[in-house]
Amino acid sequence: MASSRMIPFNDGQDLNRVISIAVQDLQMQGYDVNSIRMGATSAKITVRKDRDGVKNILGLGIETAANIIVGNGVMNVNFVDEWTNKIAALAVGWFLCLVPFITGIVGAVNQSKLDDLITTALTMGVSSDPYAANRNPYQQRNFMYQQDGFQQPQQTQYPQQPQVNQNNNQQNFYQ
C-alpha cells in the first residue's frame, strides 16, 4: 500500500543533513537503511529489516521505500511498502499450518508501523536543523491552517517589561 505524509520544511534547511540524521536514527534502531540523493530537492530512503532467510518466508521481513520531495516549504514523503511476503505467509498459513499465518499477522503489524517510524525520524531531522530555531513559531502552524481552510490564530501581544533603574533598583514605568 502507498501512503503519503507532509512535513513542514524551511527553505533554508539542508536536505542532506535532515536525511543523514534520519538515516542514523533508523540505523541505531537496527534497520538496514539505504539513502539516495536524487537532485537538490529530492531523495529516496529504503528501510528494511529481516528481508533474507526464514524470517522473510514467514512474513516477518519488513521493507519500505520513502520517496522525498521538497518544495514550497513542505517535505512530501511518499511511502511504497512491501507486502508480498506477508500475503504469501497468510495464504500458506491458512491452507497448510497455523504458524505462518500468525507470523504473517505479526509481520503485517510491524510493516504498518514502519511508515510512522520513518516519519518520526524525518521530523526529528527537520526539527534538529539549526535553521529551525530562527523560524517564526507560527510559520509551522500556518501551513496546517491554510491546508484545512481554518483561520490563522492571532499572535498574542505582550506588554513591554518595565525597565529597572540600576541606581536605586526601582521600576520606572513611565520612560
From its phi and psi, is residue 72 left (phi > 0), alpha (psi between -120 and 50) or beta? Answer: left
Model pLDDT for residues 34-87, shown as the tens digit of each residue: 999 988 889 999 999 988 888 888 889 999 999 999 988 899 999 998 888 888
Render pLDDT for 141-175 as a digit per residue (tens, 0 to 9).
444 444 445 455 555 555 555 555 555 555 554 54
Instruction: Give domain status of residue 79, yes or no.
Output: yes
CATH number (domain holding residue 127): 3.30.310.80
Residue 42, domain member (yes or no):
yes
Q: Are 95 and 89 in contact (CB under 8 A)?
A: no
* Collapsed DSSP state (helix, strand, coil) of residue 51: coil
Query: For the chain, what is the domain count?
Result: 1
Q: What is the DSSP letter of 79?
A: E
Strand-pair partners of 32? 48
Show the domain range for 75: 2-133
DSSP 133: G
